[in-house]
Structure 1
């Protein structure tokens, strides 16, 4: 555990205390920077603005749907350096999106995205300045590609908006607005780190803006660097499951593939030919059961080995399991460089030429424990793993074939995939305004060219083709003493180096079994550097016209119409050995596909009543969008052109302003999400789930089928009477499905905005939301695919099962289908209050809440099923400003959860650990064990920041996130590290300081 203190942490703690004390004692006049303090403007001079959720520009920015706005000042108060982290902390975020904290996304590439309402990141649309942004193959946006230095505000539309923006806007829309009217220069420096002295972050940016009568331009350059935090440096993540045994071995959940090996031997004469692989296989379990090398022994004789010890119940650390957790990252190292520019040239009094361009390079690294070599000559782990050391291997001390071998490849080091992500985006457009028959009109026409290129390379991987040869028959040349591999005819295999798996992690170097030169040759022969490439590009062409049609008694009838053509191409070329089935990484097929859409939309804003009792304003907003999709790509080695078809989304919204104090609003909308390129065409990635084939004769499964079901089996290649399923781990490929159709959602919202006249500056907002999904994409595993085809006779699934001539499942694809339907429901409640200025300064309060009552798509609200489904998320912030001093305090609340613990209760009651993992259980009955739960307590984090406006036009800010060092709750069903990545890192606060200089 890292327990050191740091100068940065202590300096920031001191500055927080001194800054707060000095601010309280200051009596200087507070200079407000808010709209309320500015000179009021005549209403007729207000500009028309376009807000998120509508294409129609209007003076009144209040819409029919709820919109959360995060201004520039709020962004700075968070002390965060990425748009992704800011959005992850809003109350409407469900905590299920990708982050750089890898407790639930071990192996992630550094991507950050956002999920709202518990519906997943693919159902949340992200825009920049109202237009689509760089996406990945699944249609999501990596929020790291949006530099926070150029963000003016972020608008979060909490409503379905496909009628306005098209596909993906089911859960809501994130619209990031950039700083278009910035003048002057601004430089910023940021540094921070965790209380444990790790995870150091630094960020620097420089922004320059200028305006003349004809030109407006903004350019920004930014750089961000984040250093890692290792799982081994936090107690809760130092073992696979915290509390499940000793740290040395990883306890009951440590890996059975240890540094000193875990293997079974064949008895002489007990071999047969495996019909699936052609390799000789053992017909018995062998002698002695699981065996491992005694540490410190050379591994050259049978006496150097002893039975493998799987568990200890006394936390003594004598188990032979391997603790892989400490080598993994909790927080990934990431480096980002960004150049952003935008400008407007006034061509005439009514026409402008505009351009927006950005380049983002992201370098990130992941680290995983050493490759576990899972060799088994039965081929149960896949054909590429169907080998093990032979009796004729020069290093085999038993002189019999090994049937299976589990070995942690420490010689290759940890797996370290590195990712280089180059993103470029250019949007160019013309816009302007004109009058037609006395009616105001505005228009724009342009194109966006978005490209994301991605390279993954890494070390620590094993070439299985070479390892297979190196573990076969071999010898030391009787003349030269050189190690040589031999083929079946006893001839030397040129270039092959025999490999020693029997002498521990250093391959026998320390024991003198091999020399340094032989060690180097062995390692170089079986290891390799992996390289894969990805690219996603989108061309988007658009034209929009909005304005006024006719004046109605209550006001002008506004409209917007537009067309859009969007084409997305994606490919993924895995590493050659991965695609060829010769890598220690699971076999993966390449992906290649494209999707095009042609879209047209129309929107009307109809004023119905105005300036009458109980109807200061009543408006109805109508919108519809028609989208037509075509797609083409590779699937299972052939080019396919799926029929996605067309979809129409509609929306109706009502805004009823009763008086100056009360506004009622409601919407009913249809939204949809078209399948992405990877949904349709993603190449299959290898997996080995347990599955029982209904067509197999084992346990009378085939005989139990009715005549129609048996006929389906026979038609797929199963012989009469069924076949004998030898292996229940069926090799499967997880990938795309070209038969997918768009998923559809219906959203209803109803809300009230109350601004009481008796308290100036106070606003209450309460909104109800209900989202129903139909034809939602739902993943089906191997067992479900087999059952649906051969038991339920659902032809939709049968094309995903391929058999060999004997009836064995040769290839099974796990994928998504349009099968699910569900409902998400809840309430958003926000209170904002800006107090009148007092002698003690100006205070502003904001309390934002999301309370979810139902989510039957991804589990029950209030339960943890691999991701949190909080009932309540709440953020309370207090801003204070007095003269040149300011301070901000924020409390972030996450309600408690329950998680199923039935799989752990009996095990740990048996005495495998001194710490009970299940908080609620009763050992008196079996059903109580089955129903055992673990209570995940409610969690509150406190963030604080103080700032000082220096007289040389600079600002200094120091702060801390999770200032009291509150620990995340222990979770036992998370992917890794015993807490969920939706919570802050354990063991201490994150301290930071920031300096901003304006010129």
Structure 2
């Protein structure tokens, strides 16, 4: 224990550029000199520097060395492996404006409830994701010093979005020397080859320092045909339900009077499955199909370039100037299969194939009623999507300190400009006009170049977010208690957001087949004041108080308190507890976005029931959905409890146990189509409280034609669980030194509504919601040699949920993967590293349709990595 006088000196407020930097995982040595000064550290989740490595809130650290062991080349890939990323998070995909985006979701609460900081400063959300979550692919990996994950709520310190926790990405500073590195990764299966190179350099003097980095990364595309489970299967089956990778958007006609599907004569085309193979679609329907996996990609190709520079200069003995700049360009290329969509046709305009009840073809005839053609535009070619994201982040500030008083001032500017360029899309009104005029051919011979040129359409989507903030604060000591002096920090912050989303006029009007989107925009000003205090109640008990007030220009105010306790039970055991309230402001896109079209996947159990199809055999399908924003949304509110214990069993062996409970009210959410279907089953067709489902012929027993899903404030959800850690280091043997770290998150409950205002059930164990996951790392070192073995485990889940009883149906297996790395440090200050990810070549966990949860699993398989780093 430190004497009270040392504690008084240690618990002082000092702010470096207003940043809440974080605790190191390495042991901290507190060296007391004659003036009883001690080393202090600053912990994410607090703006107060302190002497204790473990504060009153739980913080997990991922160092640059930890990242190197994984072989991952992006910060998104590193964070996706964390057990705190409970149910996974989104990764790069292919063929849409979101294909360049990746995020992190703590506690399974959603990426928009996880606040991401860069050097302790709020990063605004990506405009492509509506400003609701940060795109991790804009952050350079080479420049990262460490990542701090605060796993309890922190809205009282940072404001909105810190509901489930905070990820603080801390970049290098005060670097001296020069480092050059090159890394390559090669999956054993086709596609996904990756390489990266970076340069880091810096210099320092008595008055200041300069650090810079530059990196470039390149990742190749992965096509669906490159993996057996994403390519099509059983394509010549008699029944469509027995296939995978085949789309009914091929050459088919839907009679709007009878609701009957029929293949068109145009199915006789070599681009269709089997040159015109006809499937039994169920319920007396017959269709032809298109194998979209033959041309579509799963993971986009990616080219990333980033530069980072940070500098500090001592203006006087008491004032320091600091600045940093981050500039990145993230380009991705993705591919969808040729555009598919529907367009209207009048009676007598198309030739359809007729089938009797035994499935026999009875000949071709003209359509008798008006209908829709569900058509694949193979003549136009694939839909190719290129996204280019530019990000600029600049911070400048002054930090002053005089005796026990300090102050800081920081200006922060961030500009994100994301553009998506699409080719191979179709202008629906032109197609419909050419169908009426007879210029459009449904025959197997296809269309002329003139028709293809007339119906083709290039799309453009541009999203822009401009963010500015000014932060200022003072830190001081006041009130001398028997156990020490109380430290204070009082600050203020002003933030301005300007959001703009633009799409080409035809897409915005809903006239483009194979694309969707709408324009929107808005701006917001936020003014906040906040205060924090650490109170040494006794020599062993410390109280941390925080309070924040936010005033938003567009919806109102929010006040958030936090209370935390840290108790040194005995010399090697620390107990801690925290409670805090949080909030999440509605995103500008939530409030102001125009209606947008989406093809949502849902399972219509009611229709299956009417057709005599069992729940287990009822398949999910895509349906046309219009999503609507809501300018009347209110902020979410939350309560977060955390209770933990840290025990240093020996100098080399320690353990942590943390219990958490997160409760969120007034959840901002889209009422999903699946939710609408569950509600409809209870209340009946046409009686939904929110949203709308339209069935063919306005018949309660008919097929779904379209739906509208609104953005609303829902009731909320609750989740609780336990985080467990074991760390051992210092096992010295003749064969080398060994260490180990084990981290597990076990989710006790995730209580959520089955649908809007519906029954609440614990949903843990359902598809995409594993009960627990862990990571286990074993390290070895011997002289210039070192190696690591990383084990990751994701628990199994059920495949489906009974729509009547909510009982879990079917079983998806657990997954265990192993990664290994080996490094050799050469005498000339060079470092060789070899790695092998997914040693046993595990596929993602697949359901009965060969689908997998891309948030939890990846499709890279066994991957070989190699790198060389040279320091000067």
Q: TM-score, normalised by structure 2?
A: 0.83
CA displacement, residues 905-928 of structure 1 (integer Å, 9 cap, x when unaligned): xxxxxxxxxxxxxxxxxxxxxx99
Point out where structure 1 has 5 or more consecutive residues left out of the alignment: 1-32, 266-281, 300-304, 379-385, 392-396, 475-497, 508-518, 611-616, 632-643, 692-728, 904-926
CA distance in 2, matches of 1:170, 1:785: 30
- Residue 898, structure 1, aligned to residue 792, structure 2: no
Tell me if structure 2 keeps the 8 A contact 1:248–1:323: no
- Residue 176, structure 1, aligned to residue 172, structure 2: no
CA distance in 1, matches of 2:32, 2:823: 31
- Residue 336, structure 1, aligned to residue 304, structure 2: yes
Tell me if structure 1 keeps the 8 A contact 2:237–2:279: no
- Residue 50, structure 1, aligned to residue 42, structure 2: yes
Once the 2 structures are TM-superposed, how far is the Cα of residue 779 of structure 1 from its aligned partner?
Answer: 2.3
Partner of 1:309: 278
- What are the within-5 Å matches in structure 2 for residues 494-505 of structure 1? 498-503=439-444
CA distance in 2, matches of 1:360, 1:97: 22
Tell me if structure 2 keeps the 8 A contact 1:233–1:326: no
Partner of 2:485: 556
- Among 871, 876, 882, the alignment partner of 2:776 is 876
Partner of 1:541: 470
- Residue 818, structure 1, aligned to residue 713, structure 2: yes
Once the 2 structures are TM-superposed, how far is the Cα of residue 417 of structure 1 from its aligned partner?
Answer: 1.6
Tell me if structure 1 keeps the 8 A contact 2:726–2:741: yes
With over 3 angstroms needed to count, the CA separation of the structure-2 counterparts of 1:59 and 1:798, relative to structure 1, is closer
SS at 1:117 equivalent? helix
- Among 439, 442, 458, the alignment partner of 2:406 is 442
Once the 2 structures are TM-superposed, how far is the Cα of residue 191 of structure 1 from its aligned partner?
Answer: 0.3
CA distance in 1, matches of 2:628, 2:802: 31
Partner of 1:773: 664
Partner of 1:636: none
With over 3 angstroms needed to count, the CA separation of the structure-2 counterparts of 1:258 and 1:552, relative to structure 1, is closer
CA distance in 1, matches of 2:387, 2:335: 12
Tell me if structure 2 keeps the 8 A contact 1:387–1:468: no
Tell me if structure 1 keeps the 8 A contact 2:90–2:855: no
Tell me if structure 1 keeps the 8 A contact 2:131–2:465: no
Partner of 1:150: 143
CA distance in 1, matches of 2:348, 2:713: 40
CA distance in 2, matches of 1:767, 1:433: 36
- What are the within-5 Å matches in structure 2 for residues 517-528 of structure 1? 519-528=448-457
With over 3 angstroms needed to count, the CA separation of the structure-2 counterparts of 1:966 and 1:411, relative to structure 1, is same
CA displacement, residues 639-688 of structure 1 (integer Å, 9 cap, x when unaligned): xxxxx211110011000012221100000111111111111112211258
SS at 1:978 equivalent? coil
- Residue 677, structure 1, aligned to residue 575, structure 2: no
Partner of 1:117: 107
Partner of 2:569: 658
CA distance in 2, matches of 1:199, 1:690: 27
Once the 2 structures are TM-superposed, how far is the Cα of residue 586 of structure 1 from its aligned partner?
Answer: 5.2
How much is the aligned-residue C-alpha RMSD, in angstroms? 3.9
CA displacement, residues 391-441 of structure 1 (integer Å, 9 cap, x when unaligned): 9xxxxx978788442221111112112111111011111112112xxxx12
With over 3 angstroms needed to count, the CA separation of the structure-2 counterparts of 1:326 and 1:200, relative to structure 1, is same
With over 3 angstroms needed to count, the CA separation of the structure-2 counterparts of 1:545 and 1:257, relative to structure 1, is same
Structure number with larger C-alpha Rg: 1
Once the 2 structures are TM-superposed, how far is the Cα of residue 448 of structure 1 from its aligned partner?
Answer: 0.6
- Residue 233, structure 1, aligned to residue 221, structure 2: no
Once the 2 structures are TM-superposed, how far is the Cα of residue 110 of structure 1 from its aligned partner?
Answer: 1.5
Once the 2 structures are TM-superposed, how far is the Cα of residue 198 of structure 1 from its aligned partner?
Answer: 2.2
Once the 2 structures are TM-superposed, how far is the Cα of residue 257 of structure 1 from its aligned partner?
Answer: 4.2
CA displacement, residues 439-480 of structure 1 (integer Å, 9 cap, x when unaligned): x12221011111100111111101222222222224xxxxxx
CA distance in 1, matches of 2:467, 2:88: 26
- What are the within-5 Å matches in structure 2 for residues 147-546 of structure 1? 147-239=140-232, 251-252=242-243, 255=246, 257=248, 261-263=251-253, 289-293=262-266, 295=268, 309-311=278-280, 320-377=288-345, 403-435=371-403, 440-474=404-438, 498-503=439-444, 506-507=446-447, 519-546=448-475
- What are the within-5 Å matches in structure 2 for residues 586-665 of structure 1? 588-610=517-539, 617-631=540-554, 644-665=555-576
With over 3 angstroms needed to count, the CA separation of the structure-2 counterparts of 1:931 and 1:814, relative to structure 1, is closer
Partner of 1:70: 62
Partner of 1:726: none
Tell me if structure 2 keeps the 8 A contact 1:597–1:627: yes
Partner of 1:760: 651
Tell me if structure 2 keeps the 8 A contact 1:762–1:832: yes
Partner of 1:14: none
Tell me if structure 2 keeps the 8 A contact 1:825–1:854: yes
With over 3 angstroms needed to count, the CA separation of the structure-2 counterparts of 1:800 and 1:736, relative to structure 1, is farther
SS at 2:131 equivalent? coil
Tell me if structure 2 keeps the 8 A contact 1:138–1:679: no
Tell me if structure 2 keeps the 8 A contact 1:312–1:319: yes
Partner of 1:980: 853
With over 3 angstroms needed to count, the CA separation of the structure-2 counterparts of 1:245 and 1:181, relative to structure 1, is farther
- Among 722, 725, 730, the alignment partner of 1:827 is 722
Partner of 2:845: 969
Once the 2 structures are TM-superposed, how far is the Cα of residue 836 of structure 1 from its aligned partner?
Answer: 4.5
Tell me if structure 1 keeps the 8 A contact 2:156–2:547: yes
With over 3 angstroms needed to count, the CA separation of the structure-2 counterparts of 1:932 and 1:83, relative to structure 1, is closer
Once the 2 structures are TM-superposed, how far is the Cα of residue 127 of structure 1 from its aligned partner?
Answer: 0.3
CA distance in 1, matches of 2:693, 2:264: 38
CA distance in 2, matches of 1:37, 1:596: 41
SS at 1:170 equivalent? coil
Tell me if structure 2 keeps the 8 A contact 1:291–1:307: no
